[in-house]
Structure 1
Amino acid sequence: MRKCGPLILTLLFIGLLGVSAQISPDCSGAIPICTNTPVNGGAYDYGDDDFNGDTKSGCLEQSTMAGTIESNSGWYRFTTMASGQLGFNIGFDSSEDWDFALYRTNDCSNLGDPIRCNFFDNSESSSFIGVGEDPTGMANSIQYEDWLDVNAGENYYLLVNNYSNNNSGFSIQFSGSIFETNPYDALDCSIISNLLGPPVAACENDTVALDATTPNATLYNWFMDTGIGYQQIVGENSPMINVTASAMYRVEVVTPTGNIYSDVQVAFSMAPITFMVTDEAYCLVEGDSFDLSQKNNEALGSQSPSEFIVSYHSSLSDAMNGFNKLPEQYTTTVGTETIYVRISSLANPKCFDASRQFEFASVEMPIADFPLEVFLCDDIVSTSIGDDTPSAGYTYFWSTGAITPTIDVYEAGTYDLTITNEQFGRACSETFSITVYISKAPVITDVLIDDLQQYNNVTILTDVEGDFEYSLDDGEYQSSGNFEDVLPGEHIVTINDLNGCGSVSESIMVVGFPKYFSPNGDGVNDRWEIVGMTELQDPIVFVFDKFGKLLGQIDENNMEWDGTYNGKQLPSTDYWFKLTYIDSEGQRVEAKYVENHFSLRR
């Protein structure tokens, strides 16, 4: 909807006409401004030093050749008529460097420290500085200070200062909640003493009524100045006049006690037109955002971005009122939504057009919710790779030429899969590389048993390369094949392939025995025995010499060997043994991985 008239706005006024009377270089002559007052002009020189030679005032610092804080300054004053949030935007050419300081005081000789202040050098080439929210939608701009909470009846002085010496002028817009709750009297206009009231900002095609009604008046004469001096408006002699053109207006009120003269500025700004904006679909990557400013040229058409500003909103109501501008870098979710476009005049944000909108679609980029590393077991012919839960509407293309979501592969290698999600006229594609490895089944090569008799260490060994985990007696798996504090007895050791290519288990026997014994009758190590035999069913130990000759036998009834054969003492040397027992399946088996030799010493 296009609008060219008064409206409740978050941005209440901005400069319109270059009238030199609207600039004061000194705080003592600060220009009074209020709601609906056009504020603009260039700032040239600084008049008297309002800081009395000080080198700092808040963030402002001495920086001129003259040794002053002020460079080219303009001073304004205003009084709040409501409580709430206050902000303002100072607009200027992006090639220039402007700064500001806001003081809460009613006395220029006692400014104190500014409550809001900005002294950045505009290296970002911004077009605005101020308090509150950047009207372009830029988030976290260093040129903006936090919103200001105000109460009714507070007096403020605003210094606008130019440091670039390039001076195309500036304008001021006010914003904040007090202009929503009090659209016509957020700022006190009684501080402007004038029969015709404060200057008036309006939009083209509006009609502004000027009222000079005065008791006892006998005649009214109206004049108009468009830059060549005041000219009388023929035939206009009533107390009120309706005007439609930008100019300075003057009224002469004739009374029996003398004539009264009053001047007022009326400025009309061009109203923008929003051109058609095409629907937009973009590929949504998680955490990414869309730059809405890409649509500005479409909305502006031939209109200059130096004269109009584009904002985007999620509802028509917000667009009409200028509320809740969407951030320039807009983050959204998958789906469609309607974006409403508002174009406002930089000269007067009350002149706007919110008649256009466009459909904004976020198309989800495909993601890999399937393994990108797959293992083909060496004892299996093939395996399936790809997206086994395909999304509706997605298309698939493999580097092999296949167009199915999954394919069967028979050998190791890298396979590329391109997935495309095409919606709302936008195709969003992503290519994923899936690597297939050959994985061998695990094999137990050896088990090292460090038999310490009561608490033993067991280490499972394999000569197969792979990603394995290890378990003892069906306990929790661990990455290492080493187990400590293993009690004597029968145990199950397991190697499992982490890539799903099977597992292997073996039964081992953990027993403890002395590495040597000395049957010399001194009562110390006179007999050789195996610790842990009682944990076994029907254990039998056979003792041999190095030639394999059976020398002795130990069982549950006779669990020791004294180092003799047929009653004769055997010589000092190494001997071997074999341990058998009845396993859980009732079969007699030989204990594996037992280090089965010891020494006899005399």
Structure 2
Amino acid sequence: MKLSIIKFRFISIFLCALFCNSINAQLGFCSGNSGDPIFLETFGSGTTNGPALAAGTTSYNYVNDSPDDGNYTISSSTNWFDWHATQDHTPNDTNGKCFIVNADFTSGEFFRTTISGLCENTTYEFSAWLLNLLPASGCSGNGIPVNVKFQIWDDTDTTVLATGDTGDIQGTTSPRWEQYGLVFSTLPGQTSVVLKMINNGTGGCGNDLAIDDIVFKSCGDYISISNQANEHSASICGNDTPYTTSLTVYPDNSIFSTHFYQWQQSIDGNIWNDIPGANNATYQTPLLTTTTYYRAKVSEDAINLANDLCNVVSDVFSIEITTNPNFPISNGDLVVCEDDLMPLSVTVTNNATVNWYDSPNGGNLLASNTTTYQPENSGVYFAEAVSQNGNCTSVLRTALNYRISNLPVVFDEDLEFCEGDTITLQAGVSNMNYVWSTGETSETIRVSQEGEYTVIVTNTDGCSSVKTLRVTQIDIPVIDTIESVGNTINITMQNTGDFEYSLDGYYYQSSPVFYNVSGNYYNIHVRELNGCGVITKKYLHFVVPSFFTPNNDGINDTFLLIGIETYELSEVSIFDRYGKLLKSAKNESFSWNGTFNNIELPSDDYWYVIKIDNQEFIGHFTLKR
């Protein structure tokens, strides 16, 4: 572990107002600003123990190994007994060492050192970091706690300037360093003090501690710096330089009764240089083009401004000047299809993000902190780079064109065509590229098979829509049978469809059944309503009358079988109810006037047997007089 000067400011735990020749029994830290450390003890670094402290520093015995009660060592290791095994406290060191103490069986002083080169009538802060080495579970949970008294004496070792006790520092589950401090003031003519550490506890199981990073610093008012805008720092973009501002220091008067100033500046925040002649509470910076830091050294006496052991430094006012980022690099203009939108994108350098606008200057903020943007409409959009440090923007915005290509507008169709015919299928939109499910690439195609067809219609931007055409074949009517049932004609089709039926080709009906039709020859017509053909079939409607009235009135006077003579084989026989044959005929026309041997037969039911082309029809009819 190497000695290092690390500037830090502690927030007050207790405000210690110290007066000459008084004893203050409170631990606490400087409530204001501090100077740079004027004394820093880190106990060195390395993998070997030691060296022992200088003679007179401690009454304990130095050992080069594990320290028993009343012994101490200087080591980078605490891995002894059942102690916490941990590193020292000093930040960022390697193999850092600390002061390891195993308390004596009797209480008493175990450490003292003299701090010289102080300023008289000046307030200082002492602090140190302590660690209870014994875990909470050690000594069956009954370990003796660490308890240390800190005292600051004058250099004659006769007057106590400040004193304070840590109180019991109990063991913890995991190692935990704690910081303790005292604030004191030197007496008139006094330039050195003696620090003493006293063990309030006793030895035994516990009361084992490690100490590190003992620091003395001057202590003064809390001193802030702000500019005219009441800001405590400024972040300026490169295009707003050169930049200047007026800075003012504001002490809170908690320690100092008078104030003298020396302004300092730094280009890295670490190395500070006095600004000649800058000794007022307000300082006007020169015109700045690069990052610069400012602070003020403050003391109660003008002579102490030159002695860093006697003054304090204010908060730092940083003026960070950030170079404006380069404008974003476009990843390309976009033409996208409305069903497959993609965002615009740009590339920016490290430590920059992007805001999107609708104008090259000013305009509306569309999106922030993103290198991509998804527009909702076609147009020109503008990307502006923004630095993460300082929020500086690129001098120029990058323009990106975005065009949303509308999909070809198509409509699905349900189409019909007649059997034996073809139909033309149309994509429905011109000047496009086409790919049909048949493999054809023209705007229209002709098909002769029913089914579902699709066409992919693509515009010049490569955006596509799919049109579906469902094609149904309309069958030509095909007659299966025509039957006569009494005076009814019943037409049966081989297929189904939107058909109409007619006995003369002029009057059509939707039903395939015709009632009360006189026997005769008919040209049966069946037509498809969508114009897909008409078929005609000649049919003899053969009717067996159910009665006749032979009264010579000229109406239904004979039992007449119209058309029977057209059949190649026919035979008719008429019987009375007793089975007597009254009239017969074979392969010829047939009619009967109701007589037998020229004698008129009475009203009654009579029977017939009709054979036509190997079919036999048996029934009865009525003779009415």
Give the greater-gyration-radius structure (CA). Answer: 2
Per the shorter chain, which TM-score range?
A: 0.3 to 0.5
Q: Which has the higher contact order (CA 8 A, sep 6+)?
A: 1
